[in-house]
Structure 1
Amino acid sequence: MDDYEYHLFEEVRARRLSRRGFLRRASVLGLGLPAASAILSACGQGGGINSVPAVGPPRRGGTANVAITRPASLVDPVTLYNQGGQTTAQIAGEYLCFPRADYTLDPRLAVSWSAKRPDTWTFVLRQGVKWHDGKPFTADDVVYTMNLLTDPKVNSSALSAFKGIFSHGNIEKVDDHTVTFHLDQPFVDFPYLVSAFNFNAIILPKNYQIGDFAKGRVGTGAFVMTGYQPETGATFARNPDYWDKRYPYLDNLRLTYYADDSTIALNMQGGRENVWPIAPHQSAQALQETPNLKIIKSPSSEYRGFHMRTDQAPFDNPLVRQAVAACFDRPALVQALLGGDGELGNDHSFAPVFPVSKQAIAQIPQRKQDYALAKSLLARAGHPNGFPVTLTTEQYLEIPQYAVLAQQALKPAGINLQLNVQQQSAYYGTGNSQPWLEVPMGIVDWGARGVPSQAILPAYTSGGIWNAAHWKDPGFDRAFADLNASLDEQTRLKAAARMAAIQHDQVPAIIGYWIKNLRVTGVSIGGLAEGPANHFDPRTLWSAV
């Protein structure tokens, strides 16, 4: 084994790295499943490692009817930004790697990847892959895609994910099936940025033009898009030339767009639809007792960020932010907003689903509702009688209810919230008008990310483009750099622990709960992976009808 493999072996053998944590790091560094299994066995932690979700006794043939909310615009992998577009594109398109339910990475268009140092990553590409039009897939396609996604002149939604990490023109073609990424700074978790956790990173054919996807037959995936209607949905047929001959099981897939989640729930109950890959709690709760449906639950890193402007009074004083945090009854939030389908947050970005989290946050006490503490902190900050403030947020899922609960929770401490709940498009805005980045207090729906760094970079670093709290902490930034620059697991763990402690103490945002992923299928459909949230892999679906 090489030096890094031996390092992981030593970490696991000394019980400093859990089996789950090892599998995550091994997948990030492109360690193959045979090598990972061998290391675990050598450490006395053997056991099978599945590269695909278990599907039971699958049968071939049939059709699945998949429901999703209507995309906000014409579906294109380069520019899409919501769930409807994302699901549509992921049925036909593929990434270099794809996340499994446990957040490890499964090789797809790349068969392996490695880093001699954390700012230089080389990916070996899969041979024998064909585009849906029959042309061969090569390194030229990957180079073209990455340059397209990072071109400042192109309105790519991926620019925000790559900002500060990977820039236009910094991908090198080594040969027809090998590419090297030269990063702007070390980033140990870079493979997550070219996986589905950066959902725009679907690989496209060389010379692809914006809008081509909607014409059909664009992609390398297990299904070929045979029809597309922007308002109603899309149809897909089995790809007979798919590179993994095990898949797909289905012959056809029909994707239907709906204006709202409640209508999807009704059609799932009625049997018209049999796969709902991204089901919000508010609509899915009514399906819990429906006998012909299965609810699949899994942990995720999705959360709601309740941010405060740290560069403006009164939230420029960390005592005030700590006082706000002390007002929330977090178990009650999970029950009221998610019906119990969530996990407690503690005002830092290390979700329980991340392997590094358990050790990194071990010394941080769980924050609890404590009005005596909140009033004491406010008095020390010069606000013994509290203060009024406007909470601005969006009309989306449970967030309006969260705003009402926050208003009730803060009132006993003397903090009087005026609620301003806007339509989602108005709240996020565009260009120079993005209210969510300017308001003194707001709530943001943060989608799941594959690793803490991917979530932290845009939201909590000093130069983060989505730093709605306008928070800047040099110590936090230094620890973040340490986390991303080292392959040594103990160095990374120490950096993560510093970051979690600083974020918990300074409270640029309240992270009150982590949301469980819910998926719904009919009993006649098998093979749907438990997660991760917002990422749909239809290859393993099978029909019993």
Structure 2
Amino acid sequence: MKLNRTLAATAVLSVLAVAGVGAQAQTLRIANQGDALSLDPHSLNESLQLSIASNVYEGLTDRNKDLSLAPGLATSWKQTSPSVWRFELRKNVQFHDGTPFTADDVIFSFARAAGDGSDVKAKVNDIKEVRKVDSHTVDIETKGPFPILPEVLADMFIMSKKWSEDNKAERPVDRRKGIENAASFKANGTGPYRVRERQPDVRTVFVRSGTYWGKIEGNVQEVVFQPIANPATRVAALISGQVDVMEPIPVQDIPRVNGNASTRAIVGPEMRTIFLGMDQKRDELLYSSVKGKNPFKDKRVRQAFYQAIDINAIQKTVMRGASKPTGLMVGPGINGWTQAQDKRLPFDPEASKKLLAEAGYPQGFEVTMNCPNDRYVNDAQVCQAVAANLARVGVKINLQAETKGTYFPKILRRDTSFYLLGWTPSTYDSHNALNALMRSPDDKTGDGQFNLGSYSNPKVDELTVKVQSEGDMAKRTAMIKEAFQLHADDVGHLPLHQQSLAWGVAKKVELTQRADNFMTFKWMSVK
């Protein structure tokens, strides 16, 4: 199936080319506002963690520089029936410890990803069985027709069965429960780089794998990744030459980075949508002044919150123009997005006050809002602006902004009443967002795994299942449109914007910026 061709236009690659890049191996130093919470590729379905893991682990399929689908640990795939895909596996591939890669590792990894503690269940929840045909061939049977399965598997990473068993890491690290194992601190993939050193929240050192089966285009021998939470310190480290690549650049510092003789900013569109979610399931909110009932179960309250948010002011003052306000849970470049449907409810504080009064809250109420302060572009500032907007209509927000190391485990337990989250569909298809964010949650199957406020509409659930199996693109697009409209009519979530990518890069560095914000080490070179 071919995805929407707008992907090619939106996922424009920002490539910084430097003439005469040396062939000599080099060290590259990368800084980010946060760290991966674990090295376990199945423990957190979050883009920074997946980006880091993608340099060490690989899926059956992969992505090219233009985000088109490419062979990974599978050299080819085909449907042998509407619900069965056959994957021919790459031969003569070794894990970093020298263990050969076989079909047994694929079967083990899919079972692990579907098991307790996994945060990537949504990638495999519609797989019925993975069967071994021979040592380098597997059949994957889905519960129904699933024409985009190869797209889904690009970041469903494969682990060594033997290594996992030897290290007692048969199950994923469970960040919700604080359960760790060896896979959180050690890694053993088939990818172009292996982990040499791991000091959580301090630094992680990667070195080029001498046994990698594929081509490593760049000359980087060693990558030193370090979290630098303070934005000013991160920018100063780039400008002074202490780091070679950093992200994100605070939007107000982009001119400074561009004005420095040895650095520049690479700015491009990102496919991530930032949105707000609300607990719509509990009979009483965990963190609110309202007792005995849940105001977010009332559509009028959800709409009042939506129309109280001045997204254009947030774009101008908080994001300094580096965002695109949105009315949908997906953005341009995602198959199923349309400009015609991407319309927001109008900003109207007076309408908000009227809706709150009609719902029984003429004086408003108090509620706690959970927000990360080191994950998205200006995330805490966005939440502060939303809180200020809501205060004008009588809603008092008790803002709890915290590092993602404590934020994600909390909200993934659904220990929240009102929260901010960002989402990039890993398949670049709307089904991913429907299935993960808008489908009624089922902890056993992984359906709606990131629908943390438990929004539920049976018709949206039904359409999500149909979208997954429909091969006719016109019919499929119409189903996506209908599901999005139902969700919008329900005010199921409060979409805010798509943020822009802003990487700071030393001019001696050549790299490729992907619109999914993945940093691929094998495409990086240092002059």
TM-score, length of structure 2 as denominator length = 0.80
Structure 2 residue matching 1:415: 3-state secondary structure: coil
**After superposition, where does 1:247-326 map in structure 2 within 5 Å?**
247-262=216-231, 263-276=233-246, 278-279=247-248, 281=250, 285=254, 287-311=257-281, 313-326=294-307
Structure 1 residue matching 2:494: 3-state secondary structure: strand
Q: Find out whether 1:532 has 2:512 as its counterpart.
A: no
The change in CA–CA distance for 1:104 and 1:416 in structure 2 (over 3 A counts) is: same
Q: Find out whether 1:180 has 2:144 as its counterpart.
A: no
The change in CA–CA distance for 1:229 and 1:443 in structure 2 (over 3 A counts) is: closer
Residue identity opposite 1:387 in structure 2 = G
Q: Find out whether 1:243 has 2:213 as its counterpart.
A: yes
**Higher relative contact order at CA 8 Å, sep ≥6: structure 1 or structure 2?**
2
Residue identity opposite 1:518 in structure 2 = A
Structure 2 residue matching 1:302: 3-state secondary structure: strand
Q: Which residue pairs with 2:125 in the alignment?
A: 164
TM-score, length of structure 1 as denominator length = 0.78
Q: Find out whether 1:452 has 2:422 as its counterpart.
A: no
Residue identity opposite 2:213 in structure 1 = W
Partner of residue 390 from structure 1, selected from 360, 364, 367: 367
Residue identity opposite 1:164 in structure 2 = N
Partner of residue 368 from structure 1, selected from 346, 349, 369: 346
The change in CA–CA distance for 1:56 and 1:203 in structure 2 (over 3 A counts) is: farther
Q: Indicate if the aligned counterparts of 2:380 and 2:401 stay in contact, CA closer than 8 A.
A: no
- Partners in 1 of 2:279 and 2:220 — Cα distance? 52
What is the CA distance between 1:227 and its match in structure 2? 4.1
Deviations 1:262-292 (A, max 9, x none): 333321111121123x426468645343332
Q: Find out whether 1:416 has 2:395 as its counterpart.
A: yes
Structure 1 residue matching 2:101: 3-state secondary structure: coil
Residue identity opposite 1:404 in structure 2 = Q
Q: Find out whether 1:474 has 2:454 as its counterpart.
A: no
- Partners in 1 of 2:218 and 2:341 — Cα distance? 47
Q: Indicate if the aligned counterparts of 1:129 and 1:220 stay in contact, CA closer than 8 A.
A: yes
Residue identity opposite 2:110 in structure 1 = M
Structure 2 residue matching 1:115: 3-state secondary structure: strand
- Partners in 1 of 2:380 and 2:482 — Cα distance? 33
Q: Find out whether 1:124 has 2:92 as its counterpart.
A: no
Gaps of 5+ in 1: 9-16, 25-48
Q: Which residue pairs with 2:336 in the alignment?
A: 356
Structure 2 residue matching 1:179: 3-state secondary structure: strand
What is the CA distance between 1:108 and its match in structure 2? 1.9
Structure 1 residue matching 2:266: 3-state secondary structure: strand
- Partners in 2 of 1:274 and 1:483 — Cα distance? 43
Q: Indicate if the aligned counterparts of 2:315 and 2:325 stay in contact, CA closer than 8 A.
A: yes
Q: Indicate if the aligned counterparts of 1:65 and 1:272 stay in contact, CA closer than 8 A.
A: no
**After superposition, where does 1:65-104 map in structure 2 within 5 Å?**
65-69=28-32, 71=35, 75-79=39-43, 86-100=50-64, 102-104=66-68
- Partners in 2 of 1:399 and 1:221 — Cα distance? 32
Residue identity opposite 2:102 in structure 1 = T
What is the CA distance between 1:474 and its match in structure 2? 1.7
The change in CA–CA distance for 1:80 and 1:314 in structure 2 (over 3 A counts) is: closer
- Partners in 1 of 2:449 and 2:369 — Cα distance? 19
Q: Indicate if the aligned counterparts of 1:97 and 1:109 stay in contact, CA closer than 8 A.
A: yes
Residue identity opposite 1:60 in structure 2 = A
Identical columns (%): 20
What is the CA distance between 1:377 and its match in structure 2? 4.0
- Which piece of structure 1 moves more, 515-524 or 530-539? 530-539
**After superposition, where does 1:184-203 map in structure 2 within 5 Å?**
184-196=143-155, 201-203=156-158
The change in CA–CA distance for 1:297 and 1:353 in structure 2 (over 3 A counts) is: farther
Q: Which residue pairs with 1:491 in the alignment?
A: 475
What is the CA distance between 1:490 and its match in structure 2? 0.4
Structure 2 residue matching 1:296: 3-state secondary structure: strand
Q: Find out whether 1:507 has 2:513 as its counterpart.
A: no
Q: Find out whether 1:208 has 2:163 as its counterpart.
A: yes
- Partners in 2 of 1:369 and 1:429 — Cα distance? 33
Structure 1 residue matching 2:295: 3-state secondary structure: coil
Deviations 1:317-366 (A, max 9, x none): 323322322222222222333222221110x32312213212xx525644
What is the CA distance between 1:230 and its match in structure 2? 4.4
What is the CA distance between 1:488 and its match in structure 2? 0.8
Q: Which residue pairs with 1:37 in the alignment?
A: none
- Partners in 1 of 2:268 and 2:280 — Cα distance? 34
What is the CA distance between 1:175 and its match in structure 2? 2.4
Q: Which residue pairs with 2:189 in the alignment?
A: 219
Q: Size of the alignment, in residue pairs?
A: 486
- Partners in 2 of 1:83 and 1:401 — Cα distance? 21
Q: Indicate if the aligned counterparts of 1:71 and 1:83 stay in contact, CA closer than 8 A.
A: no
Partner of residue 315 from structure 2, selected from 320, 325, 334: 334
Q: Indicate if the aligned counterparts of 1:64 and 1:275 stay in contact, CA closer than 8 A.
A: no
Structure 2 residue matching 1:156: 3-state secondary structure: coil
The change in CA–CA distance for 1:408 and 1:156 in structure 2 (over 3 A counts) is: closer
- Partners in 1 of 2:314 and 2:98 — Cα distance? 52
Q: Indicate if the aligned counterparts of 2:8 and 2:66 stay in contact, CA closer than 8 A.
A: no
Q: Indicate if the aligned counterparts of 1:391 and 1:418 stay in contact, CA closer than 8 A.
A: yes
Deviations 1:365-420 (A, max 9, x none): 4433133443454455455x3522314212414333223322332344x3322323
The change in CA–CA distance for 1:379 and 1:96 in structure 2 (over 3 A counts) is: same
Q: Indicate if the aligned counterparts of 1:224 and 1:236 stay in contact, CA closer than 8 A.
A: yes
Q: Which residue pairs with 2:106 in the alignment?
A: 142
Q: Indicate if the aligned counterparts of 1:249 and 1:540 stay in contact, CA closer than 8 A.
A: yes
Residue identity opposite 2:295 in structure 1 = P
Structure 2 residue matching 1:387: 3-state secondary structure: coil
Q: Which residue pairs with 1:12 in the alignment?
A: none
What is the CA distance between 1:21 and its match in structure 2? 6.0
The change in CA–CA distance for 1:116 and 1:443 in structure 2 (over 3 A counts) is: same
Gaps of 5+ in 2: 170-180, 282-292, 442-447
Q: Which residue pairs with 1:35 in the alignment?
A: none
What is the CA distance between 1:522 and its match in structure 2? 0.8
Residue identity opposite 2:303 in structure 1 = Q
- Partners in 2 of 1:85 and 1:156 — Cα distance? 14
Structure 2 residue matching 1:303: 3-state secondary structure: strand
Q: Indicate if the aligned counterparts of 2:220 and 2:526 stay in contact, CA closer than 8 A.
A: no
Q: Find out whether 1:60 has 2:37 as its counterpart.
A: no
Q: Find out whether 1:404 has 2:380 as its counterpart.
A: no
Q: Which residue pairs with 1:462 in the alignment?
A: 440
What is the CA distance between 1:293 and its match in structure 2? 1.7
- Partners in 1 of 2:47 and 2:486 — Cα distance? 33
Residue identity opposite 1:176 in structure 2 = S
Q: Indicate if the aligned counterparts of 1:293 and 1:520 stay in contact, CA closer than 8 A.
A: yes
**After superposition, where does 1:38-57 map in structure 2 within 5 Å?**
none
Structure 2 residue matching 1:529: 3-state secondary structure: strand
- Partners in 1 of 2:52 and 2:336 — Cα distance? 32
What is the CA distance between 1:190 and its match in structure 2? 2.6
Deviations 1:129-187 (A, max 9, x none): 333344443222222222232233xx33323x3463236xx211222322222224544
